[in-house]
Chains A and B, each alone.
Chain A
Amino acid sequence: MVEAKNLCMKYGKGKQLALENVNFFIDRGEFAFFVGSSGAGKSTLLKLIIREIKPTEGVIKVFNRDVGRLPRHRLPYLRRNIGMVFQDFRLMEERSVYDNVAFAMIVTGSSRREVKRRVPHVLNLVGLQDKAKAKITDLSGGEQQRVGLARAIANRPAMIIADEPTGNLDPGTALDIMNLLRSINLRGTTVLVATHNRDIVDRFRKRVLYLENGKLVGDEQKGIYTNVH
C-alpha cells in the first residue's frame, strides 16, 4: 500500500537531509505509528505520501503508484483515497459540523442524495450525531478532532493519515480519538499516525517505525515507543 525505496528529501540546497535513505513497506489494512522527536522527519514523510512535496531522491509508492511522478492533474484522485487528519483540525470554523463533513463529499463529486445518506452515518460513527447543526467554534478540541475524523472517512478512503492527531488534546480525549482510529482500522482502512505521544504508542502495541534525524532507525511489529528507541 505504501512503499518507500531509498527515499531522500532535502528542502533546499546546502540544507540538511530531512529524510535519508528511508525504506519500508506498509501493507493494506495495517495500523502503523511513525514516531520520533520534532524534526525527525515524520511530517515530511506524510507530506511525501500525499504528494504535497516531491522526493529529492528515491521512490515513494502509494497504492502501487510512484506518487513522485504523478502528474499534477492526477493528484486530486490520489487524495480522494486518503483521508487526512491534522493536529490543528483544519476545519471551516464558520460552518456547521454537517457542512464540514458534507464539503469533503461534495467537492469530490458525490451526489446530494449520497451526501444526505452518508454524513449522518459518519457523524454517528464518531459520536457526533447530535451535533450536526453545531458550529465548529462551539465544540471542544476533542469534538473538533472527531469532525476532522468524520471528514477524513466520509469518502470511504483506503487509507487514513493522521499527523499528530492528539497533539492539541488532553490525555483522555486523545485516547478516545485513537480508539476511533483503531475502530476505523478494524473496518479494513489502513491507518498511518505520526506522533510523539509515548503513552498512546505504548498502549496500542501496533507497528512502530522510529525516525531520528531523517533516518529510519527502528521498525517493529507490536512495538512500543521505548523499545524501538
Chain B
Amino acid sequence: MFISGFIYILGETLKGLYRNRWMCITSTGVVMVTLLMLGLFMLVNLNVRHITEAVKEQVEMVVYINEEADRAAVEELGQKILGHREVARVEYVSSEEHMGRLQQQLGGMLEGYDSALDNPLLASFEVRTEDPEAVVRLADEFEAYPGVAAVFYGQGYVENLFEVTRVVQVIGLALMVGLAVTAVFLISHTIKLTVMMRKREITIMKYVGATNWFIRWPFLLEGLLMGLVGAALPLGILNYLYGSSIEWVDVNELMFINLLPLQTVMAELAIYLVPLGTGLGILGSMLSMGRFLRV
C-alpha cells in the first residue's frame, strides 16, 4: 500500500505538472521573474555594500601633536590612543615625514625650501578605528587629551558618506522586503489558481475517503518543483549577467569599481534564492489548498 501510494503521488505530481503545463509554466514564470528581480537587486545591493564598506575602511583620523609636547608626552599620548578599545591601528608620522609627503605631492613647487630650518608642519598619529563610523565620536574624545593640537578626519565629508551609505542600505533593505512580499503574494495567488482549477479533483478525493496528506503531497511536490526551477533559472541568468559585468569592468579597466568575486556573490544568492523559491512554492501550495480540504 505504501509503495503504490508513493508511486501514485509521484505519478500524480508529474501528471499534474503535464496536465496543467500552461498554468505551471505561468506559475514558474512568476516565481522566476520575481526571484530574478530580487536576485538582481540583491546583487546590486551586495556590491553597493561592498564598495561603501571599502570606502569606509579608508576613513581615518589624524591626531596632530602639540609642538611643545616632549618625547615622553608624545609616547604617552601614542600609548593612550593605541590603548583605546575602539582603535585598531596607530601610526606615528613625524613633522619631517609630513614635509616629505607634501614635497612629493607638490612636486617642484617647494624646490629650494629648507624644511630642516623651518618646518611648520606638526607631527601626528594616523588612527584607524575598528568601526569607521566611530571616528566622529572619538575625534571629540581625543581632542581633549593632553598634548593634542587638533584632530582631523575629513569633517563634513565623512558624515555625508556615512549618511549616504545608511540611506542606500535602508532603501536596499526596504526594496528587498517589498520584492519578497510581492513574490509571496504573486506566487500564492498563481498556485491558488492552479489549485482552484483542480478543485473538483480535490473534492472527489475527499468524498471517496482520501486523507488530507494524500491529497496534499502531489500539490506540495508540484510547488516544490516549480519553486526549485523558478529559483534555478534566475540563478543561471544572474550568473551569466554578473560574469559578463565583471568581464566588462576588467576589459575597460574600471578598477575603481571594486566588484565582489563571482563565486562569492552566487553562493550568497543561492543561499537565499533556492530556499526562498522552494519555500514559496510549498507555502503557496499549503496556503491555497487549505480551503478546499475542509470538505
Q: Does A111 contact B (CB under 8 A)?
A: yes
For residue B22, CB closer than 8 A to chain A, the reply is no
A79 to B203, CA, bound (A): 12
Stretch at the interface among A100-108, A117-125, A196-204: A100-108
A151 pairs with B200, CB closer than 8 A: no
Contact B208 A92 (CB under 8 A): no
Residue contact A76 to B1, C-beta cutoff 8 Å: no
User: Is B209 a contact partner of A107 (Cβ separation < 8 A)?
Assistant: yes
Q: Within 8 Å of chain B (Cβ to Cβ): is A130?
A: no
Q: Which range holds the interface residue count of chain A? A: 20 to 34
* Interface membership of B207, Cβ < 8 A: yes
Contact with B along A75-112 (1 / 0, CB 8 A): 01111100010000011101000000001101111111
- Using a Cβ cutoff of 8 Å, how many contacts connect chains A and B? 57
The answer to the question of B252 belonging to the interface, with a C-beta cut-off of 8 Å to chain A, is: no
B 1-36 to A, binary, CB cutoff 8 A, 1 in contact else 0: 100110110000000000100000000000000000
In the complex, which of the residues B19, B200, B203, B208 contacts A107, with contact meaning CB atoms closer than 8 Å?
B208
Interface SS majority for chain A: loop
B207 pairs with A50, CB closer than 8 A? yes
A77 touches B4 (CB 8 A): no
B210 touches A52 (CB 8 A): no
A126-179 contacts to B (CB < 8 Å): 151, 155
Report the separation of the CA atoms of residues A50 and B208 in the bound assembly, to the nearest whole angstrom: 11
A106, B4: Cβ atoms under 8 Å? yes
A23–B160 Cα distance when bound, in Å, is 83
In the bound assembly, the distance between CA atoms of A73 and B215 in angstroms comes to: 13
Of chain B, the residue at the smallest CB distance from A102 is B8
Q: Which of B144-177 contact A (CB under 8 A)?
A: none
- Sample (28) of A-B pairs whose CB atoms are under 8 Å apart: A50-B207, A52-B295, A76-B206, A76-B209, A78-B209, A79-B207, A79-B208, A79-B209, A90-B204, A92-B200, A92-B204, A103-B204, A103-B208, A106-B8, A107-B8, A107-B209, A107-B210, A108-B208, A108-B209, A108-B210, A109-B1, A109-B4, A109-B5, A110-B1, A110-B4, A111-B4, A112-B7, A151-B208
